[in-house]
Each structure stands twice: as C-alpha cells, then as structure tokens.
Structure 1
C-alpha cells in the first residue's frame, strides 16, 4: 500500500510540473545515425524540460520511423503537421533550389571552415525557410564531410569516370557528371543493397554515416575528398507555432537547442573525421566499435585542382542559373565572401 501511495504522489507531482508546459511534436533526422542518437534524442527526450525550466516537453520521432521522405519534412512542417522538423538541406532543393547554397561541395575541408560557411549562410537560410516553408530556423547542424565509398579499386578522382555513383545532393551529382561519371539517385537507406547488386559502383555520404549504416560491408575503397560537402541539417519550427510563443519562451527554446544540439554537434564534427576513417580503414583507434579494413585513397594535388576547377566553371554556374540573381548576389556577399569564391551571374 505504501508503494502504491508513493507512486501515486510521484505521478501527481509530475503532472503538476508538466501541466503548464508547451508540448512539442518533433521530427528528427535518420534514426540510425549519430546526429539523431547522440544529439537530437538527448535534447528532445531528456534535457529539454530542465533546460527550459519546465516550459517545454517534446515527443520525438524521426522521418524514417514515420515512413516519410526527408524531402517531405519541411512541406509537412509548413502545413503544421508537427511543430519542429529536421532534415538535410539538400533533400529539399526541389522545392527551394536556392537552399543548395548552404552546402557547396569542396569549399570546406575542415569543420572550422564548414562552420564559417554555415554561419555566413544563416541569414539567407532563415529567409529561405520563412519564404518557402513558413518556418523559423532554430539550428543548422553538420553531418560528417561527404566522402566517396566505392566497390572496386579506385586510385583517384579520374577513376570515377564511367562509374555509376550515388551523389548526396544536386551539386554533387552535377560535379560527378562533369567528371564523366553517371549520377544515380538512390535513397540513403537503399545504398548498401544497390552496391551489393552493382546497381551503383560508388556512393557519397559522410564517413561516420557510412560506417554506422554498414556501407563498409559492401564497399572496399574510401576516397576522402569531400565531394558532397557536409550535408548540413536544418532544424526549424513551424512559424505560426513559433510566433505563438512569448518572447521569453522563444529565448528559452532557442538557447536549449543551441546549447543542447547545435554547439555539441559542431564540437563533435571537429575531430570526427579522423576517428571515422580509423573505423573504416582499421588504421588508428576506432572508438565506435568494430573496425573495417577499407583501402584509403588520399586525393592528390591534381585531384584537388581538378575538383576546384569543375566547381568554379560548371557546378556553381549551374546552381546560379536555377537559384536566380537575387540569391546569387546574397550568396556572393555572404558565403562567397567568407570562403573567397564568387559566382558569376
């Protein structure tokens, strides 16, 4: 009887604490990857209430657990299906081609440069999200740099010519086609099967993401040139829902997301690539689990120079033609200025 009364009192106390809380329905990114497991889940399911003094609680699921495509997340967010949504910016460029400017491949080879690029783009991204999806940006968090997994021997960039390669975004696919490869559209979750059946020869994703998803079981060569950029994830809130919060609530929620998700995710990215490569190649210490034995292919100076030329002469002009002069001008004044690159109009 004492145990029953104690349980009842604890339940009553919990209800009292949460009675005035704003409950948020949150849709996160791929449930099997570290960003969701290590940063999204702890914030939304554990830390949020304490971080906001009991003002907010959250129900979390991921878009793959919901059975929806990553490209649908912001459309549904704008329609008010849920309160907060997160997805890879490149997944949404069919609706917002100007958003591709957030993650230009090959501009950032370190986490520090990637953060500089994202910070420069943030005001532009905020306007894109508000205009296209009726959403307010809460955070932009990184996946690891997007590298190349291949089934079969490659020694450099030139060896991708003639191969069927899954890109990680439209700019990446354009780059691959300029190399003479065939860009193939395959969903992230379907890549291992496609590699195993030789539907594709290579695929681009983050080193850590590929390790977590087991791509090393169906591929054997890893080229670390960041052909796909960093695949930033935009975390956004339905704008009507955001506008319905008090200024104090907005400040609390923003602080919780910045300190509980965005900042630690960037901190982890800074040293993540070296550990991910160790896990994929077996050279070095793998803290994540079993090490694989992929062959590491380091880009040569010629590879890097060729990649930069293709980016400048083909990839960025192609994006500019789709994004329009207004967004190209804004990109040049922000991201371009920060990274020392100008896109012609």
Structure 2
C-alpha cells in the first residue's frame, strides 16, 4: 500500500486522486489517500497575514518526514521556492490550464459589470489586477473552499455533503469571484465560468495550474520509477523559471506578482509583472534558446528579475530581493 498525503479540501482530494490513479497504474499497487489538516485550512484570516509562504504545506511536509505517508501532492503555487533539505519534488505532471477564470452573475463579462459591483478574491495579485483593469469595481477579500466562493455569487441551497456534514444555505452577496481555471476543471466545475482571463494581460501566480509531487530524498523502487515517468520536462522548465523570479525577488505572499513561462520548440519565454496594491505595474519579458544555457530557468529568471528591479518594482511591492 502506497500512502499519499494530501490536504482535505475537495480540490486537494480531487487532484490527489488523479495522481494516486496514475501511480497505481504504473506500480500495480494500491494507493491510499491520507488526509492532513493545515493551518491555512482552519484559519479564516487573509492569506497575506497568515505567516507567509508555506501556510498550506507545512503540516503535509511534516507528515511526509514523519513517514506517515510515502508521497504528498501540493498545488505548486503553494510550495515555498526554497528547497527542503530532506525532501525533493520528484515529479511535476503536465501543467493544466494556467489561466484565471471569472464567475460573474447573470453570465456577464467583468467589463460589463456596473460601477460598485463587488468582486471577491483573496489573492493580492488578483486584487491589484482587478483595480488596474476595472477601477470602478469594489474588490472584496475572500477566503473559503471553491464551493463556498462560488456560492457567494451563485447562491446555494441547504443540504447534506457526501460525508454526512450539513451544508448551509447561502444567499449571493458578491457579483463575481476570480478562481484558477485548473482547480475548476479538476472539480468538474468549468460550467460556471463566464470568462477566461488571458495570460498576456493577466499573468497568474508562478506555478499556477501545476502540481508538485514531493517525496523524501531517499525514495527508491517502483514508486520512484513511477514518479519519474510522471514528470513533464517542459512543464518543469517553465515553472522553475517562474518560481526563480519569485525567489530572486524574495517576493512573499503579500507581493502582487504574476509570472508565466512556456517552452516552444528550442526556445523558452518568460514574462513577469509586479504590481502595487492599487494596480500600478512594471513588467519584463525575455526569451532564450534552452540549449544555450547550463541552467536555462535560472538564466532567464535572472534577466527578468534584474530588469524588474531596474524598472522600479521594489517601489511598488515588498520585495526582499531589492536589498
């Protein structure tokens, strides 16, 4: 029996089950999900005030190090950029849709909402992007699981969950919410999306849409072989470049920053933007031939991060890398 550690939210369970099914198919062994509660799951405080990066992963990693499970699955954007000395990201499966998606009442586009309409998101990046592109809208701090966030726009009737727990009725009090398209796809909820926000004008969090499968460094045997087969090289290259920008700027969860990279043939492209909370921005974009650098992700990230700082990014957002 292989034990796979995961947070207990519906989204975490859905994406972890996909990984579990892939591991089972490659190893021929049963895979059991081990649910782990994190500080981020039980606190209703704004993300930016909850102690920084890693609030959703610390307890999961502790369970792995304590050998209570054999492998864990994270949303990569939740994972700190500094490697853990005893752990390794053994696989990054092929990336899902990296875009953000809007769920708007009456099926409207964000641009068609009247001034004063309320849009919910807990992400400082999304908040800054909304204020920049739609200054007439009111941005509302938002926490909770996907179903709760959707209910703030779509409403919800009272009922009973699959585990027998009661579901409270909710009356809509927001006009729109912004969520990750990948998460909605994994929950089979793309039907609620009214608008996809294009990466070019709306860069998302480094690693968004990607999963990280983490294990102890001493992993061996059939599980290690299965994870190596799950790793997607171009996805890893791209998200390592995005996360290297984050690390070089020392940008924490309170820094509104978007970054997106992709590999096209022999070239890799990386673009990033840093915002002020009010929506001012600086941006940088570079490309290189992958074979021209010993470490193309770090090389490309260095160019982008240096240019962001030169263009005044540190004056807009809290960036430790400006020292």
Richer in helix (by share): 1
TM-score by length of 1: 0.47
